[in-house]
Amino acid sequence: MLGAPFIWRPWGELYEAVVTGRPAFERIFGSNLFDHLAEHPDDSSIFDAAMSSHSTMISTILAAYDFSRFDRIVDVGGGRGELLLGILSAYPKLQGVLYDLPTVVAGAAVVRTGPVASRCEVVGGDFFKRVPEGADAYVLKQIIHSWNDEDASRILKNCRRAIKNDGTLLIMGDVLRQSSKPDPNGGLMDMMMLVLSPGQERTEEEYRALLEHAGFSLTRVIRTPGPSIIESRPA
Ligand SMILES: C[S@@+](CC[C@H](N)C(=O)[O-])C[C@H]1O[C@@H](n2cnc3c(N)ncnc32)[C@H](O)[C@@H]1O
């Protein structure tokens, strides 16, 4: 994916992105990343396959977090379903909902067929409009960092409307350290978000504020060798 023109051309305009604070992607391609992917199936299949290839991250997440108290989990923007497949396989009583754009969930063969298919619903939709209701766990892995605070709040508020009052929201991704020291993972991803999207990586305090604004209260941040897990509950 990193060598595909829809990624390296925006990186080539890093300087303009830093100076203007505006995503290079939109200036080059005339639309945001996800609208572009919806209209370019070749790029979309590269992107979706790259997202699906993070299997080592799934074992890291499973080792770091106990999902056993949940009955029903929604993976919001869950791509083709690999993370949900990993979680449902590890917890045989858990029900799952894979939620992503209709064009993306069309490729979710791993949860439509096979051992977890009977426990997994696949729903196509737009998380800016709604999120499937009534679950006690909502996962957003590498989602919030692609959006500015206004758009991120819209997604989180839709999760707040959908989640059970005693539910748990789990944002997974990098959490920037509050220091001027280099942060190789978070810093590089922060620049990736700058060139590709109107998003950014955030510190724990920035996540806390974003979550509070959407009606959640941050309960803890679990750092792992892969993505951090930011746990919150309805306030
Ligand atoms: C960076 S990928 C992360 C995918 C997956 N959660 C993972 O960690 O591998 C962002 C995901 O958000 C989905 N997405 C973008 N805009 C969306 C929207 N408006 N509604 C639902 N899903 C959306 C994309 O299709 C993509 O699968």
Q: How far apart are CA 102 and CA 104, in angstroms?
A: 5
Nearest protein Cα to ligand 1, atom 13: 77
| Catalytic residue check, 145 | yes
The pick from 2, 46, 80, 104 for probing ligand 1's pocket by mutation, whose C-beta has the most ligand atoms within 8 angstroms, reads: 104
**What per-residue confidence (pLDDT) applies to 53?**
83
Which of the residues in the chain have pLDDT under 50? none
Nearest protein Cα to ligand 1, atom 4: 79
**What per-residue confidence (pLDDT) applies to 167?**
98
Report H helices in the chain: 5-12, 14-20, 24-29, 33-39, 41-52, 55-64, 82-90, 102-105, 109-112, 149-162, 184-196, 204-213
| Residue 62: HSE in the Cβ half-sphere, 13 Å Cα cutoff | 15
- How many angstroms does the Cα of residue 34 sit away from the middle of ligand 1? 8
**What per-residue confidence (pLDDT) applies to 56?**
74
Q: How far apart are CA 121 and CA 101, in angstroms?
A: 14
**What per-residue confidence (pLDDT) applies to 73?**
98
Model's pTM, two decimal places? 0.94
The ligand 1 atom nearest the CA atom of 82: 9
Q: How far apart are CA 11 and CA 33, in angstroms?
A: 13
Pocket of ligand 1 (CB under 6 A): 34, 51, 54, 77-79, 100-101, 104, 126-128, 141-143, 146
- How many angstroms does the Cα of residue 166 sit away from the middle of ligand 1? 25
Q: How far apart are CA 122 and CA 107, in angstroms?
A: 11
The full set of domains in the chain, from first to last, is 5-234 (3.40.50.150)
* Residues paired with 165 in a beta bridge: none
